[in-house]
Structure 1
Amino acid sequence: MKRLESQKDVTWAWQLRKMTREEKVVLDYKKSGKKYDPKAIPWDTTTIILPKVWKK
């Protein structure tokens, strides 16, 4: 942050948003050290769009 703040000729913009449920699942796997296999997770296909190769 100090390095970014020291650059006075550059204007930085920040945008914050809530994490999606999918991002939370991925982060939980990363934090716990479990093997992450997106095809093995029962995703809610009514709220997200999965690649066609993952659909049954």
Structure 2
Amino acid sequence: MAKANPIQVQKFLSGVDYPANKDELVDHAKSKGADENIMQTLEQLPDEDYETPADVSKAIGQIK
């Protein structure tokens, strides 16, 4: 399955209080009803803290 693009992912991360770690992002997206593709993309993120939505988008862009 192809990774979700950052714009799709950000739709499910609206309202996140940054900084946020990977687990917080995954939990938030799940609570917003994110589909399997979005969830798989978030699960592939490095386990670190993200300061801004742009940091999340950058990390998604680096997923192979």
TM over 0.5: no
* Relative contact order higher in (CA < 8 Å, ≥ 6 apart): 2
TM-score after normalising by structure 2? 0.29
TM-score normalized with structure 1 length: 0.31
Indicate the structure with greater helix content: 2
Larger Rg: 1
Larger strand fraction of residues: 2
